[in-house]
């Protein structure tokens, strides 16, 4: 029987019972510890996590960056795999992960960037993005309200071929609502940082997004799912800069 790796899987949750199971199932037998930091679920999230052998702890919401930093602080293993409840390790990734540890190459970096592939409305979208998810215990996120960024100052950052898959949203309406919330938080953060924009910024930035993501990167190949995914994100770009412009006018 293959032994678990010296690895803590770290997940923050609230009301993720309908999605968490796939994430936890993909981690079974791989991680020496699965830590779920929950901020007050009133569904079956906690019971589900415990049924998969996870250590579940509670923490009132500290914001995205603060909550993830607290979860990282509570992990016990020398390496951490940072996951969201709507993500899972792709088929074949366990072998890649074990090979990275077995070869000793894991020690050549402080932060490993994995490939993340996105699913939307039942279809895997083309391409992938790099994301910093395999890290040492001193990893921290910068204090941001949304789209938290890791503090990579002085870190050795390498890429690897380990893949995680991501179910972007439960539905199109849920995706739009999430993007609208993130747009408002982004604008508030940028305004607090002293950023301002013009009345034209929502439209110029949205046009640039559409040109880059939908046309130049050929997202049109993803059919109606690609259209709705990027239309939703283009609307979020408009919302972000509208909010930022309004905050600047009212300051």
Q: What is the DSSP string of the chain?
A: -PPPEEEEEEEEESS-TTTHHHHHHHHTTTEEEEEEEES---SSHHHHHHHTT-EEEE-----HHHHHHHHHHH--SSEEEEEETTEEEPTTHHHHHHHHHHTSGGGG-SEEEEEEEEEETTEEPSS-EEEEEEE-TT--B-S-SSS--B--TT--EEEEEEEEEEE--SSHHHHHHHHHHHHHHHHHHHHHTT----TTHHHHHHHHHIIIIIIIT-GGGGHHHHHHHHHHHHHHHHHHHHHHHHHHHH-
216: pLDDT confidence band, cut at 50, 70 and 90? confident
174: pLDDT confidence band, cut at 50, 70 and 90? very high
Mean pLDDT of 181-195: 93
pLDDT tops 80 at residue 130 = yes
What are the beta bridge partners of residue 97?
none
Mean pLDDT of 109-128: 96
Residue pair 80/137 in contact (Cβ under 8 Å)? The answer is yes
141-169 pLDDT, tens digit each: 998 888 889 999 999 999 999 999 999 99
| CA atoms of 36 and 251, how far apart (whole Å) | 40
| pLDDT, position 250 | 81
74-107 pLDDT, tens digit each: 999 999 999 999 999 999 999 999 999 999 999 9
1: pLDDT confidence band, cut at 50, 70 and 90? low
Domains and CATH numbers, the chain: 5-167 (3.90.550.10), 172-250 (no CATH)
| pLDDT, position 147 | 80
pTM of the model: 0.92
pLDDT tops 70 at residue 251 = no
Mean pLDDT of 111-115: 98
Longest dimension (CA), the chain: 63
pLDDT tops 90 at residue 129 = yes
The two structure tokens encoding residue 98? 């074990």
Mean pLDDT of 113-124: 97
Mean pLDDT of the chain: 95
5-33 pLDDT, tens digit each: 999 999 999 999 999 999 999 999 999 99
pLDDT tops 90 at residue 170 = yes
């Amino acid at each position: 029987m293959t032994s678990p790796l010296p690895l803590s899987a770290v997940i923050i949750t609230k009301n993720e019972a309908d999605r968490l199971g796939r994430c936890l199932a993909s981690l079974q037998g791989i991680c020496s510890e699965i830590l779920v930091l929950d901020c007050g679920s009133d569904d079956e999230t906690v019971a589900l996590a415990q049924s998969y052998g996870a250590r579940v702890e509670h923490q009132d919401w500290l914001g995205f960056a603060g909550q993830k930093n607290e979860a990282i602080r509570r992990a016990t293993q020398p390496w951490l795999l940072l996951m969201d409840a709507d993500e899972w390790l792709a088929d074949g990734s366990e072998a890649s992960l074990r090979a990275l540890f077995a070869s000793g190459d894991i020690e050549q970096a402080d932060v490993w960037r994995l490939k993340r592939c996105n699913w939307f409305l039942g279809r895997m979208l083309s391409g992938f993005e790099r994301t910093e998810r395999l890290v040492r215990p001193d990893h921290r996120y910068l204090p941001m309200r949304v789209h938290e960024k890791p503090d990579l100052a002085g870190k050795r950052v390498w890429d690897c071929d380990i893949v995680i898959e991501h179910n972007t949203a439960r539905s199109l309406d849920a995706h739009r609502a999430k993007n609208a919330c993130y747009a408002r938080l982004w604008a508030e953060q940028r305004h607090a940082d002293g950023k301002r924009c013009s009345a034209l910024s929502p439209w110029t930035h949205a046009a640039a997004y559409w040109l880059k993501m939908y046309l130049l990167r050929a997202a049109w190949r993803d059919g109606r799912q690609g259209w709705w995914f990027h239309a939703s994100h283009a609307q979020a770009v408009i919302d972000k800069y509208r909010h930022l412009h309004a905050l600047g006018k009212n300051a």
